[in-house]
Amino acid sequence: MCGIVGYIGKEEAAPILLEGLKKLEYRGYDSAGLAIYNNGKLDVIKSKGRLDTLYKLTDGGKKMEGTAGIGHTRWATHGEPSDKNSHPHVSQSGKIAVVHNGIIENYQKMKELLVNHGVKFSSDTDTEVVAQLLEYYYEGDLLEAVSKTLSRLEGSYALGIMSVDYPDRIIAARKENPLILAVGDNCNYLASDVAAVVKYTRDVIYLDDDEIAVITNDRINIYNTDMDELNKPVVHIDWNISDPEKGSYEHFMFKEIMEQPKVISDTISPRLKGNEVILNELDNVRSKIDKASQIYILGCGSAYHVGVIGKYLFEKYARIPSQAVLASEFRYSSPLVDENTLVIVISQSGETADTIAAMREAKRLGSTVIAIVNVVGSTIAKEADSVIYTWAGIEVAVATTKAYSAQLAVIHLLCLELAKNRKKMTEHEISEVVSELKLLPSKIQRIIDCREKLQYYASLYFNNDSVFFIGRNLDYAICLEGSLKLKEISYIHSEAYAAGELKHGTISLIEPGTLVVALATYEKLFDKLVSNITEVRARGADVLGFASEKMRESFEGNADSAFYIPNTHEMLTPSLAVIPLQLFSYYVALMRDCDIDKPRNLAKSVTVE
């Protein structure tokens, strides 16, 4: 997945494109490049490395003259991150330049065809075939060449295309990858995300699949695949999309951890009336929810981990058969979902390709889809039957923290709603949970205030090269997230295990000095978890334990190091238990001098399957 941006107007294009790319770096950051039309030729500067490198190479864009251009920030799929594999890619003659987000699945076949016609390739990417095919089909009409080229491509794409023969235009095309066009004053833009252009304009056109746009400085014409012109609405973005700043914080991740009390409050408060949960967002799907006989929760990475908690909670409190399924697996697993299945998709970005594909499959099979999404107007938000937004604000760090917590808060609300409708919890029971829900922000703050202890534990363990997270039931679900957080930002190998499962094989990996992070917040299974801790300690493991305050007395002495979490209703424990794990991972990564906000090989939004 990558970010693309384009500008055509009267201003110098390069600084505007660089500014746009800065806002798209969350989509990938292993290389970046620009192509600018300048006096009958396309100037291309591109380079491996962060956008900063491109910024320096172009002197903030000053070294590139011209008022029309396209730019790209990359997350490598085909071909290692390198100068030659960076976008834009140009055709053999240098006359056509292309930026691309997506994957051309039949690129090998297309490459063979072109090589047989004598075309010489200069990169290992799938994207280069697009530039070469365009030139191959070009017979004086660029739009016709675009149309022919697109008809040969299999896979997904958001494309920005320029040609020296048409200096007054940029062509854009989309299939299964986000692309917006934006209307400026004597200028127009294209971008993977509104964030890239919002500094200049809030009037945007959402390009849909299989549409092609011709963008000049004063017009945007949009066509379908038959080349019929379409009349698409200009949408004014009125939601707040202010740029997040790090302020005095060293990292966005830390800042976002600190924001969690507010984020939880912003997400739950508008949905509570007294001690009642009010989810107006569900009004249009209420009858479908009432007759649902099962729930599937779909997501990737941390969003999937929230789904695992949802599964435990919906089954326990609302008594509805539920399962959490990785979105990337759902689509190809012949899922038994139908019109009586409620599907909940969870996604911070709303643009994760696997989650979008799973959602579409669920809809195709007749299910009703509720989406829990952070980014307003994203693909998932637009296509789901109903959306519950998490009011986490823009999350910049690749490792999610505040969006995860906000998703979890929505799961709690949904659980209460379902339990109420199915009469599985009394009003009194619900009101007890809601009272505790309202206290979550202050309890999270209490944990954050004890962060020095976690920093100390990080200093004890940051040199470990293998860590196991163990827990049972909800604690196991939290372990999944704790383990992912640690590995993605600190590059320490770590695994989450259901504590009872360890003895079925994995315990052979425990040796003196192995760190085992044990979660013991689930009161009913506390004794069993303590037995599992004893087993690993008997084999020499160092145990860092997390337990609820009310278990302090019984837990003391059972772990080498311990951290206590404020008491709360059992349903809500995950919302508290995850916070110290986020902070522990953060401090470990800090001590290992890792690039915390932009870990290697990752991107914030994973828009390829």
Residues that bind ligand M6R (CB under 6 A): 300-303, 347-349, 352, 355, 398-400, 484, 488, 605-606
In angstroms, give the least distance from the CB of 449 to ligand M6R. 24
Catalytic residue among 2, 187, 300, 594: 2
Query: Angle CA(180)–CA(139)–CA(100) in degrees, nearest 5?
Result: 30
In angstroms, give the least distance from the CB of 395 to ligand M6R. 9
Taking the C-alpha atoms of residue 16 and residue 103, their distance in angstroms, rounded to an integer, is 26
Task: Specify the residue, 341 or 407, whose C-beta has the smaller distance to ligand M6R.
Answer: 407
In angstroms, give the least distance from the CB of 239 to ligand M6R. 18
Half-sphere exposure of residue 230: CA atoms within 13 angstroms, side-chain side: 19
Active site residue 423: no
Task: Specify the residue, 163 or 401, whose C-beta has the smaller distance to ligand M6R.
Answer: 401
Q: Is the separation of the CB atoms in 154 and 168 below 8 Å? A: no
Task: Specify the residue, 61 or 301, whose C-beta has the smaller distance to ligand M6R.
Answer: 301
Task: Specify the residue, 126 or 354, whose C-beta has the smaller distance to ligand M6R.
Answer: 354
Q: What is the identity of the amino acid at 36?
A: I
Host H or E run for residue 395: none
In angstroms, give the least distance from the CB of 347 to ligand M6R. 3
In angstroms, give the least distance from the CB of 296 to ligand M6R. 16
Task: Specify the residue, 23 or 89, whose C-beta has the smaller distance to ligand M6R.
Answer: 23
58: which DSSP letter? T
Nearest to 335 by CA among 353, 357, 352: 357
Count Cβ atoms within 10 A of the Cβ of residue 284 and give its class: 0-12 exposed, 13-18 middle, 19 or more buried.
exposed
DSSP H helices, 342-401, are 353-364, 379-383
Q: What is the identity of the amino acid at 212?
A: I
Taking the C-alpha atoms of residue 323 and residue 315, their distance in angstroms, rounded to an integer, is 9
In angstroms, give the least distance from the CB of 400 to ligand M6R. 4
Q: What is the identity of the amino acid at 284?
A: N
Taking the C-alpha atoms of residue 421 and residue 423, their distance in angstroms, rounded to an integer, is 5
Task: Specify the residue, 85 or 400, whose C-beta has the smaller distance to ligand M6R.
Answer: 400
SS3 of 482, please?
A: helix
Task: Specify the residue, 73 or 355, whose C-beta has the smaller distance to ligand M6R.
Answer: 355
In angstroms, give the least distance from the CB of 119 to ligand M6R. 36
Active site residue 604: yes
Here the tokens at position 77 are: 């799929």
Catalytic residue among 48, 288, 598, 604: 604
CB-closest chain residue to ligand M6R: 301
Taking the C-alpha atoms of residue 539 and residue 592, their distance in angstroms, rounded to an integer, is 27
374: which DSSP letter? S
Count Cβ atoms within 10 A of the Cβ of residue 51 and give its class: 0-12 exposed, 13-18 middle, 19 or more buried.
buried
Here the tokens at position 390 are: 């998490």
Q: What is the identity of the amino acid at 398?
A: V
Q: Which residues does the annotation mark as catalytic?
A: 2, 604
